[in-house]
Amino acid sequence: MQGVCVSVLCVCICVSALLRSAISQSHVKTYTNTECTDGYHWDPLTEHCKDINECETIPDACKGEMKCFNHYGGYLCLPRSASVIPAPEPAITPTPAFNPCPLGYEPHGDSCVDIDECERDEHDCQPSQQCINTLGAFNCQCPRGYSKVGTECIDIDECRFRYCQHRCVNVPGSFSCQCEPGFQVGGNNRSCVDVNECEMGAPCSQRCFNTYGTFMCRCDQGYELGPDGFTCNDIDECRSSSYHCQFRCVNEPGKFSCVCPEGYQLVGTRMCQDINECETGEHQCSDTQTCVNIHGRYQCVDANRCQEPYTHNSDNLCVCPHSKPACRDLPYSVVHRYMTITSERSAPSDIFLIQTTNFLTGSFNTFRIRSGDDNRDFYIRQTNNYSAMLVLARAVSGPREYTLDLEMLSGHPLVGQRSSSVLRLSIFVGPYTF
């Protein structure tokens, strides 16, 4: 059966459009397998309700000048002059079998069972979504990290919720936490914990101290941290100061040591002291010699240094009696003494006390340098009638040796002749200032 349009007096009326309410019985739910509505009859071949052509089954369906036109479920009587434009035949959709169960269920024996739309692929979920079957229906679920907006799955920006302690990086469907240098992601994958760089091979050459988020390199005593902040360089203490050692500084890795010249020994860590070889026995003087200790060394002198016409009287004492003709113009006695001073000793400086041992009441004494002071490096300062002081007039450098004859002239009002005695002083100037 076809829908029709008729034209009367050049006016087209689409009657099929006006009568769309009378649709094919293939779209009407039936209550029994053979019951059809008015205008249709059951076709056992197609097992569908088929339209009845009333124009053929009803005699004189239209009277007069009217012409019968069959239509779905009925017929129309139109003027014979009307032209008919056939409408396209609607597609016949098979009528689904009667389902007495609720939507989403299907009959199974005497009961209704749920239809698994996900398993049968009878769902409209997107490829990125997961179909979850429910009783009588189904749900389209987005993957973790996505939220459903309409029918689409949109990535959730978890970084908006500040899950991370330091930095958050959003990725499709998830996120990751990152930490600042010196930290690492904790066990919960969100917080940041300090990294102990000292236990992880920090590049400190000596000592490493871990701090929050970083570390510090430190050096042992005697070293200093280099410009790179990691390397420890030896401090040359000998170059930094000349006061570390009295004689010579020797730099060593991380420290320094002081050394003394030959004939001296180290006292403490920096001072040098003369070794008295005469006391320690570290000399090679014979039995007829006397060991004289001087700065940095020693000297062996003859025990008897008396020269003619003097005779040896006692230790270091030589006498020349005036009874001998050769002694009349010579000092009566010569006493040998020895002393040592350091080089560059400050001047003026008192260095040796001269004192008479025999004092006669009423006598008067004078003291002078008889010989040995050609450069006037010394002078005598008499303190009283029986003593005087030898004074170093200027600083002198060693090693050097002076032999000074210090003379004492004695006189008395009752004795017209004056007497003379000499102290022969050997002065050894050491090579150093200590």
Two tokens, residue 84? 């008919």
**Start-end of H helices in 179-324:** 237-240, 277-280
Please tell me the predicted confidence (pLDDT) of residue 322.
Answer: 85
- In angstroms, how far is the first alpha carbon of the chain from the final one? 141
Q: How far is CA 76 from CA 40, 56, 73, in A?
A: 16, 13, 11
Q: Which residues pair with 257 in a beta bridge?
A: 250
Mean pLDDT for back-to-back runs of 10 residues, the chain (434 residues): 36 32 35 72 84 88 84 84 62 68 90 93 90 94 91 91 93 94 94 95 95 96 95 93 91 95 95 96 93 95 92 90 90 95 96 85 88 96 94 96 95 75 96 94
**430 secondary structure, DSSP code:** -
- Beta strands of 275-414 (E only): which ranges? 289-294, 297-302, 311-314, 317-319, 333-341, 349-355, 364-371, 378-382, 387-392, 400-412
CA atoms of 422 and 87, how far apart (whole Å): 166
Tokens of 140: 């389209």
pLDDT at 6: 36
Q: What ranges make up the beta strands (E) of 195-279?
A: 207-211, 214-218, 223-225, 232-234, 248-252, 255-259, 264-267, 271-274
